[in-house]
Amino acid sequence: MASVAVIYVTRRLTSPRALKAYALVLSFVGVVFFASIPNVVANFMHIGSAGIPAIYTFFLSAVTKTNFVVQIALILGGAAFVSLLRDVVTPQHRQFA
């Protein structure tokens, strides 16, 4: 019975939803490691009172003028987040073999 439990846990840990969650967590860790989050928040608070166009410009320049690794992490994290959100929102149809 232990082998059945191992197979079950392995399938759960390598399911598509779990892999998307791993990608989201790893991209978050990459952004935190390579970007200075306190500086980003401080700059955002300084610009945030200027309105929506300034916020859009801030995020656009923050993403385009950062390291390539952070850009990749943001893209992968955004894709993983959207994919996980789609998984949660769409109804699941279970098929039995």
Is residue 39 domain-resident?
Answer: yes
Residues 59-72, mean pLDDT to the nearest whole number: 91
Is residue 7 domain-resident?
Answer: no
Is residue 96 domain-resident?
Answer: no
**Domain of residue 62, residue span:** 16-89
Is residue 10 domain-resident?
Answer: no
Can you tell me the distance from the alpha carbon of 25 to that of 22, in angstroms, rounded to the nearest whole number? Answer: 5
The confidence score (pLDDT) of residue 79 equals 95
Residues 60-74, mean pLDDT to the nearest whole number: 91
* Portion of the chain with pLDDT greater than 90, in percent: 41
Is residue 60 domain-resident?
Answer: yes
pLDDT band at 86, cuts 50/70/90?
Answer: very high
Give start and end residues of each alpha helix (H) in the chain.
2-13, 16-34, 37-47, 52-64, 68-89
Can you tell me the distance from the alpha carbon of 27 to that of 83, in angstroms, rounded to the nearest whole number? Answer: 14
Domain count, the chain: 1
Can you tell me the distance from the alpha carbon of 23 to that of 84, in angstroms, rounded to the nearest whole number? Answer: 10
Whole-model pTM: value is 0.75
Is residue 72 domain-resident?
Answer: yes
Is residue 80 domain-resident?
Answer: yes
Average pLDDT, the chain: 88
Residues 25-52, mean pLDDT to the nearest whole number: 88
